[in-house]
Structure formats: C-alpha cells, structure tokens
A and B are shown apart, each in its own frame.
Chain A
Amino acid sequence: MEGLLLVLLNGLVYGLLLFMLSSGLTLIVGMMGVLNFAHASFYMLGAYFAYTISVGLGFWPALIIAPLLVGGLGALVERYGLRAVHRHGKLAELLFTVGLAFVIGEIVPLIWGRPAVPYRVPAVLDFPAFALGGINYQAYRLFMMGVSVAIFAGLYAALARTRLGLVIRAALTHPEMVGMLGHNVPRVFTLVFGAGCALAGLAGVIGGNVFTTSPGMAEALGAIVFAVVIMGGLGSIPGALLASLAIGFIQTASVTLDTPLGVLLGRLGMAVDPHGALAEITIARAAPAVPYLLLVLVLVVHPRGLMGARAD
C-alpha cells in the first residue's frame, strides 16, 4: 500500500514536470502550427544555465534567472529564425527547429563537457520530509510539486482572466481574425514562444538536479514530450495535463514492476512459450516503450488525441 502511494507520488512529480514542458509546447503548436522540435533542448539549456548560475550565485537566483535567459533565447529564435523561414512553409519551420535541436545538442557538450555535470538539489531542501514504508521522501520533490502547481495556477489565471490571455486563446483558433481586430499577432507569437521556452527552462531548473543534467537529457525527454502533446490533442492544455499525468503514472509504475510480460499475457489468456523471448522481458524493461505504445493506441482509436480540437 505504501509502495503504491510512493509510486503515485513519484508519478505525480514526473507527470507535472512533463506537463510543464508540454503545456508550453502545446500552446506553441496550437497557435503557430509549428512543432518546436528544439523544445526539449530549451529544457536542457535551463538545467545547464541553472547549474552554472548555482555554482556562482546559488540555487534561488538560478530559479529566477535561468528560465528568463532561456525565454529570452526562445524569443530571439522565434523573431530571427522561425519568422525568417515562415515564408518557406511549415516543413521548413519544422526542419529549422530540428536543425536547432541538433546544433544545441552539439554545443552543450562543447561548453559543459560530455559527462553529466554535478547539478545538485539545494541543501536547504535536501532532507527527508516524511518516510513511507521505510523510504524517505525528499522535501525537494514536494517543492517541485509546489512550483509546478503554482505555475499552472498562474498560467491558468493569466490565460483565463487577463486581456492578453484572451487574445492568446483567440489566436489559438482564429489567428487571422485576431490580426484583423488589430492585435499584433506576430508579437503574440514571439511572446508565447518565449514563454513556452521559459517554462521548458524552468522545468530544466527544477528537474535537472533530480534527474541527471547531461547532454543526452534533451533527446531522452524530447520524444516523450512530443508523445504527450499528440496524445493530449494539439493545442489542448487540459489534454496535455491528462496525457502528462497518465504517462507519468504509467511509466513510474511500470519501472517498478518486474513481472515478466509472458506471465501477464498468460493471465490475459494468451499462450506464450515460457522460455521464448517474450516470456523473459519484465515489465520494467518494457517501460521505455510504454509512452509510445500508448501514443499509437490513442491515435488508432481516436486520431485527434484525447482532447484535440484540430486534426493536424
């Protein structure tokens, strides 16, 4: 029972982190129709910036400065990169972000080296908040949860209650009409792109020290974030939340199960050779495939994703 609670808590932390990444991306995709392939690269930059700042100034300044830096960088990329390739069409925009992800992935090890950097959880929060079934639960994870929830409350309030939020939501579905009404839609795009990148950067700041900060972190998480965004349905924030939490829980849970897949299939009434390849795979080893399996299943059953409004 306590083990299950631990899995639920860890799944919640991981799911909320995924949502912090995917909420920014889903806004960008929904509004501009551009899948920002480099989104997870901004997550990585957030973690590395935070590491460098925390070495000099400590964790708390890094928590503020690093996301702002990443957001500013994102705004520059939108203004001088994406907007320039926009006239070549959607494919060119997507390819531009692919190239950007590739280049960032090469520059980061150039500056910080190939091995993981020692980015640590701040000492103030590095104590067990409570124990569950003999396992101490780190206070920093509670802090992560708190930050995530606070950000979403803030984001939701900004989108639902402010005038700018109204313009953004309108531009999500009817960008031309919003432009006709006299709003500077390109500037709104730059703002949203920058804000989305800043959110990814923030996720890097608070996630980089719990998971690892290494040059492979963008690639490892990037594909999962895309899976979340498509599963949730393009442009749908509630869909992204649902998909993030689902993938967070399922992946965390499946890592802890070491029942062989063959036994599971056997219980479902499928005959599996007890010494064959399938019988020996434990569910934990199959865990990396789970998000993508879910993605394919969702798309087969419901091509628009869980809550998607747009088909493409």
Chain B
Amino acid sequence: MADQAAPQTALLAGVPGRSRAWMIWLAATAALALVAPHLLASGFGISLLNRMAIAIVFALSFNMLLGQGGMLDFGHAVFFGLGGFATMHLLKLADAGIFLPVPLLPLAGALGGLVSAVPAGWVATRREGTSFAMVTLGIAELAVAFVVMLPQWFGGEEGVSGDRSAEPALFGFDFGAALQIYYVIAAWALLAAVLMWAITRTPLGRLTNAVRDNPLRVDFLGYDPARIRFLCFALAGLFAGVAGGMQALNDEIVTVSNIGSAASGAVLLMTYIGGVGTFWGPVLGAIVVTLLQMALGTLTDAWQLYSGLLFVFMVLWAPGGLSGIILSHAPLLRAGLGHRLLARYLAVVPAALLTLAGLIGLAEMAYRLQAVRSGGAPGRLFGFAVMPTDPVAWVAPTLLLLGGLLALRSLAPRARAAWQEAHTLLARGTPR
C-alpha cells in the first residue's frame, strides 16, 4: 500500500506549524488523561487505563527499534521485565524503611532497562536484519534461563512482590488507592511518550531512520551504523524499563513471565497492529489490543487465537497497520472522495462479517469440544445450544466461512480498485 511512504513525511516534517499542532495534541492528551478516570469511575476502568498506559510506553519503546530503526527485537520484554525487577527491589527496600519516594521508582526501571540493554545491544547490534532478530531471540532465552536459575534474586516461579502503600505517606498520598497510582502511571506515560517523540527529532533519531533505510549510505557519510543501532537499542531498553517499572508499581509483583517470549510477542503484536510507520501507531495499537484483550479475555478462551489471526491478517493485507489504513484514507476523505469508496466498502462488510462468523464459529466449536472432552459443559454459542461432539453442528460455521471467503474473493478486489482509483484521482488533483 502507499502508506509505506506516507509515515516518513509525518515523521520528517519539521515545520514550526507542526510543533504547534503537537503542543495542542499534548495538551489535549494530558487533559484527557486527567479526566479519563473520572469518566470511567470503576475499579475495572482505572485498571484498564493503567494497563493501556503501560502498554503504550512499552509499544512506543519497541517501535523505536522496529519502526524507526528497522530492528526486530524478539526479546524486548527482557528490558521491560528487568526494569520491573529493579523497581520492585527498590520498592522492597522502601518497604524495609529506607526513604525512597514511590512515584520516582520507575527511574530505577529506566536504569535497569538501560543497564541490561547495553551488553545485549553490544552483541546484537553488530548484526542487522534477520540475524539481529535471531540474536535477540537468543539473548531473550538466555535472560529467561538466568532469571529462572537465580531464585535468590528473581524469586523463582512466584516472582518478587512488594507493597507500594507500605511507605510513609508522601504529601498525604500513600499511593495505595487505584486513582492515586493511576496519576503516577499516567504522568510517567506522558513524560516517556514526549521524550521518545523528542528523540525522533534529534540527529540521532534521524540517523536511526537513515540506518533503517540505507545503512551503507550512512556508513559512507561517516557514521557507524552499528554504533547508531547500539545507541537506539540502549535508549529503547531504557524506555522499556520505564514501562516495566510502571507495571511493577501497578501490579506490585514481577515474575519470570514478564521477561518471557509471550510478553515479547505481545508487544510485537500490538505495535504491528497499530502500525510501525508512524509515531502514534503503536499508541493506537496498545489501546486497541489492550481493550480487545480485556473485553475478549472475559468472553472467550480463544482470544489469543483471534489476536494471532488478526496479526497474520495485518501482515498479509495491511502492513501499515491501523495507522497506515487511517493515513491512506485521510487525504481521500479530506479531498471529498469518500463517497467513491463508501459503496464498495459497504459491499465488503457483509462478506467480511460472514467470514468472521464462520471463523469464530469454528474456533469456538473447537474450544467447546475440548471443554466437553475434559468433562465440562458445552455452553451456548451465539445464543444457540450447540453440541460440539455432533458433526452436524460443524456444518453451519464451515458453510458460513466458505461462503464468506468466496464473497470476499470477488468483492475485496473491487474495494481495492476503488481505493486505487481514488488515489489516482487525488494525485491528478481533480477531485470529484
């Protein structure tokens, strides 16, 4: 799609008007962060917001590598987790009576992330592309093995836990209440996001983009690409550590699973679904995936499968992610070409829904079959009582899926053609 080129203009535009727009954005985000917990005045709502804030910082730090530096880090959760452990150990010191203000503890996470990213980056950033990815995978496995090996430091299976409200109150706040810790986490998220955005505007940030696009040319310009990758890697580790510190304060526990491959996979998933080509894509991805996870996680056992399928779908058909989809449609809507797309897009919707219903039906039937086999009840699916052991029950979802796929095969290319046509019109400058 055309959105591969578009993000660069968004990142590279350095006109003053842009900065003013950013100030407005920042003020709006800060205001939203201030009032959001009062709009969702429930424990669930605030814990959702906390998770989102943590996921946003983590995804943004991951995108410093993947989106801005072209480096796929399979072990990014290592820095997240080690930052969390560092924060947790300081929290325990504070519990023991040493004066350490709780809201500043994510700084320890930053240090933990940075200190662990330096040796890892020193090894990994000597390589690029696929080899880099594989080396980070090795480093991640090594880190997990070490954490499991050293229960004295990392608490083994149970992890390390502390109590953020055990310290003497600071200016009357003990940070035990959900709302108080929310403001600490939101402030850190905002600060970290602003800093990461600022880094994209520094010479280092620009060189990181250059190394992603053409390392050989950067080398000829007199900069060492490996060194730039290393600096970027260390900074990304630092911010992942901040996110880990925020998580440690929020959950009051850090375990091996925070370091493991599942956590690294989750951040890749949300960053890519949001879109790696823009700065704000990962923010969108973190919000959407966290919402999906919280909403679907209570509804179905299959949400992991669904998020995996969504990821594969994005890789195959929308490599720019959600932000790429938005960026490739915004200029069309602004030019008043939206009506050319609407009919063709609406035609796809029923077919897509049919496919989705079939897919969900099959997956849910399979999960219910497992439940029945292990002695559970099949439960209801879309309001129907289903018996997954009966082969007839599988016919309907299979037919739905096949019918949907067939319809998509003929309708999707038309929607795509309409999109391309609209872009051609836009490029020619003859709207309508």
Contacts and interface: CB of A to CB of B under 8 A. Distances in A.
B135 A299 contact: yes
B309 interface: yes
A91 B149 contact: no
Contacts of B145: 286, 288-289, 292
A96 B131 contact: no
A226 interface: yes
Contacts of A296: 123, 135, 138-139, 142
B286 interface: no
B373 A113 contact: yes
A227 B311 contact: no
A295 B66 CA distance: 23
Interface in B137-173: 137-139, 141-142, 145-146, 148-150, 152-153
B129 A312 contact: yes
Contacts of A281: 149-150
Contact of B366 (A33, A100, A111, A229): A111
Nearest to A312: B129
B41 to A, nearest CB: 36
Contacts of B138: 223, 226-227, 230, 291-292, 295-296
B179 interface: no
B315 interface: yes
B131 A230 contact: yes
A300 B120 CA distance: 11
Given A230-B138, A277-B152, A91 B72 contact: yes
Contacts of B398: none
Given A99-B312, A100-B312, A285-B149, A110 B139 contact: no
A167 interface: no
A219 B261 contact: yes
B404 interface: no
B315 A92 contact: yes
Nearest to A112: B370
A312 B130 contact: yes
A121 to B, nearest CB: 25
A35 B133 CA distance: 9
A262 to B, nearest CB: 13
Q: Is the interface of A mostly helix, strand, loop or mixed?
A: helix
Given A226-B138, A288-B145, A299-B126, 10 more contacts: A99-B308, A106-B308, A230-B134, A286-B149, A288-B148, A295-B135, A295-B138, A300-B123, A311-B127, A312-B127
A98 B268 contact: yes
Interface of A: 29, 33-35, 81, 84-85, 88, 90-92, 94-96, 98-100, 102-103, 106-107, 109-111, 113-114, 219, 223, 226-227, 229-230, 234, 277, 280-281, 285-286, 288-289, 291-293, 295-296, 299-300, 303, 311-312
Q: Which of A103, A113, A303 has the most CB of B within 10 A?
A: A103
Contacts of A111: 366
Contacts of B66: 91
A221 to B, nearest CB: 12
Nearest to B148: A288
B146 A289 contact: yes
A33 B309 contact: no
A107 B316 contact: no
Contacts of A92: 315, 319
B133 A94 contact: yes
Nearest to A290: B145
Nearest to A224: B141
Contacts of A91: 66, 70, 72
26 contacts: A35-B134, A91-B66, A94-B130, A99-B315, A102-B265, A103-B308, A106-B304, A106-B305, A107-B305, A109-B370, A110-B367, A111-B366, A113-B373, A113-B374, A219-B261, A226-B138, A230-B134, A234-B130, A285-B149, A292-B145, A295-B135, A295-B138, A299-B126, A299-B135, A300-B123, A312-B131
A51 to B, nearest CB: 16
A102 B308 contact: yes
Given A85-B315, A299-B135, A90 B149 contact: no
Given A110-B370, A292-B141, A312-B130, A84 B316 contact: yes
Contact of A88 (B70, B319, B370): B319
Contacts, number: 126
A227 B304 CA distance: 27
Chain B contact patch, size range: 35 or more
Contact of A312 (B72, B128, B268): B128
Contact of A102 (B130, B152, B311, B363): B311
B135 A230 contact: yes
B85 interface: no
Contacts of B152: 277, 280
Contacts of A84: 316
B263 to A, nearest CB: 13
B265 A35 contact: no
Contacts of B319: 85, 88, 92
A103 B312 contact: yes
Contacts of B135: 230, 295-296, 299
A229 B130 CA distance: 12
Q: Which of A107, A295, A311 has the most CB of B within 10 A?
A: A295
B272 interface: yes
Given A96-B312, A110-B367, A292-B145, A226 B134 contact: yes
Contacts of A107: 305
A264 to B, nearest CB: 14
A77 to B, nearest CB: 11
A289 to B, nearest CB: 4
Contacts of B366: 110-111
Interface string B224-236: 0000000000000
Nearest to B317: A84
Contacts of B150: 277, 281
Contacts of A33: 130
B305 A35 contact: no
A281 B129 CA distance: 35
Contacts of B305: 103, 106-107, 110
Contact of A96 (B137, B153, B316): B316
B134 A85 contact: no
B134 A113 contact: no
Contacts of A292: 138-139, 141-142, 145
B137 A223 contact: yes
A103 B126 CA distance: 31
Contacts of B139: 292, 296
